[in-house]
Amino acid sequence: DTGVSQDPRHKITKRGQNVTFRCDPISEHNRLYWYRQTLGQGPEFLTYFQNEAQLEKSRLLSDRFSAERPKGSFSTLEIQRTEQGDSAMYLCASTLIRLAGGHSYNEQFFGPGTRLTVL
Amino acid sequence: DQQVKQNSPSLSVQEGRISILNCDYTNSMFDYFLWYKKYPAEGPTFLISISSIKDKNEDGRFTVFLNKSAKHLSLHIVPSQPGDSAVYFCAASVDSNYQLIWGAGTKLIIKP
């Protein structure tokens, strides 16, 4: 399977614990995104990487959240001191930015997500 | 402030008929639009996209129409099939930063 993979698929934790999620993007993709999705809403952007550089972070990403992509391949998202409001689906996506006809194209391919439940 | 809006939470269509899903946006800087499909317990799957330099893009049973003056796009699925039952998300981006802004989704139910 050469798609985006995420691990674990489900995580149940107690409030105050730290959790870490992993994302393995499609190998030739240079951009990697993290999103959060809650019930009845579309995905909300958290952060993205161009290779190993973290280029943008949403204001949703409080100081309890940190993301890394150390070698420009897989990425981790860590949440420290989890709160019940952190319960959500965490989605990872990757893309290879391509240019055609003077426009850039950014079809993002998503992994299956990690569902986090904070008790 | 919701920049991308899908005003219909759900839509029910008879199998074989046309499904039309709508999306409105407010940011005139958006120049790239995408539709994704999502099944329960899976990540969104890319369906079709359109650049602002076009007003129509077609891929098999799926056609996306863009009306820039009305800041409106729609996804047409014809003929609708039972496997099309899913939640459909509209997303948009500004060329310069590639961050996707998403609508809340429309749940499409195809009735046999």
Contact between B105 and A108 using a beta-carbon 8 Å cutoff:
no
**CB of A71 within 8 A of CB of A24?**
no
Q: What percent of chain B has pLDDT over 70?
A: 96
Condensed to tens digits (0 to 9), the pLDDT of residues B20-67 reads 999 999 999 998 999 999 998 889 999 999 988 899 999 999 999 999
pLDDT of residue A62: 87
pLDDT of residue A72: 83
What average pLDDT does chain B have?
A: 93
Q: Which residues contact B96 (CB under 8 A, 6 or more apart)?
A: none
Chain A residues whose CB is inside 8 A of the B89 CB are 42-43
Q: What's the CA gap between A103 and A105, in Å, rounded?
A: 7
Q: What's the CA gap between A57 and A17, in Å, rounded?
A: 23
The three-class DSSP label of residue B42 is coil
pLDDT of residue A1: 55
Residue B85: pLDDT above 90?
yes
Joined tokens for residue A25: 């993007």
Query: For every residue of B28-67, which 3-state class applies, written as one string?
Result: CCCCEEEEEEECCCCCCEEEEEEECCCCEEEECCEEEEEE
Half-sphere exposure of B89 (CA within 13 A, CB side): 22
Contact between A91 and B43 using a beta-carbon 8 Å cutoff:
yes
Residue B4: pLDDT above 90?
yes
Which stretches in chain A have pLDDT values below 70? 1, 100-104
